[in-house]
């Protein structure tokens, strides 16, 4: 399976295969109503958010990385399970959300803006995860090799 940079049980082997940069994005019309982006806790607490899953781990990681804030109130208006879902909500002006660079760069006609954080971008490692110590059939090893090369 492909996984993000989360912690796993010791029985799971994790092998990094790629990396993506995470952008905080919003529709330009949504941002016009919020004033010029400021790198302050109060500015970001005044925004509405579209998050991946409960807990908003990716949004909170972005805030911690760029603002150095662990405790920040996020007004999450929607939680979705896919990058495309985040894109659809933010492209319709519902709020702000995280999009990976490869997805953002593949968009053609859009009015989305990237909200600047600190100078250093937030990168997310994509890894292949599998059970340690299991003898795999040659077919499984061939699939793992194919996945390593296809990213």
49 and 76 Cβ atoms separated by less than 8 Å: yes
pLDDT tens, residue by residue, 49-90: 999 888 888 999 999 999 987 789 999 999 999 999 999 999
Of the candidates 27, 36, 23, the one whose C-alpha atom is nearest the C-alpha of residue 90 is 27
50 and 90 Cβ atoms separated by less than 8 Å: yes
CA distances in angstroms from 136 to 131, 140, 142, listed in the order given? 10, 6, 10
31 versus 136: the higher-pLDDT residue is 31
- Is the pLDDT confidence value at 22 over 80? yes
Residue 88: per-residue pLDDT: 96
pTM (whole model) above 0.85: no
* Rounded Cα distance, 33 and 20, in Å: 30
pLDDT tens, residue by residue, 90-140: 999 999 999 999 999 999 888 999 998 888 999 988 887 778 777 767 877
Concatenated DSSP letters of the chain: -EE-S----TTEEEEEEEEEEEEEEEEHHHHHTT-S--SSHHHHHTSEEEEESTT-HHHHHHHHHHH--SS---EEEEEESSHHHHHHHHHTTS-EEEEEHHHHHH--S--EEEEP--SSPEEEEEEEEEETTPPPPHHHHHHHHHHHHH-
Residue 31: per-residue pLDDT: 93
Residue 2: per-residue pLDDT: 63
Neighbours of 51 (CB within 10 A): 23
């Amino acid at each position: 399976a492909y996984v993000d940079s989360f912690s796993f049980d010791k029985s799971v082997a994790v092998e990094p295969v790629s990396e993506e940069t995470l952008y905080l994005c919003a529709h330009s019309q949504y941002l016009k109503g919020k004033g010029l982006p400021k790198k302050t806790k109060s500015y970001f607490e005044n925004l509405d958010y579209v998050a991946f899953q409960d807990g908003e781990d990716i949004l909170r990681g972005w805030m911690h990385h760029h603002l150095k804030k662990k405790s920040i109130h996020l007004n999450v208006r929607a939680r979705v399970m896919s990058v495309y879902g985040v894109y659809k909500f933010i492209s319709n002006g519902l709020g702000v959300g995280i999009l990976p660079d490869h997805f953002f760069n593949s968009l053609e006609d859009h009015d989305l803006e990237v909200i600047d954080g600190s100078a250093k971008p937030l990168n997310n490692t994509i890894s292949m995860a599998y059970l340690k110590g299991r003898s795999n059939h040659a077919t499984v090893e061939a699939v793992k090799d194919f996945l390593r090369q296809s990213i």
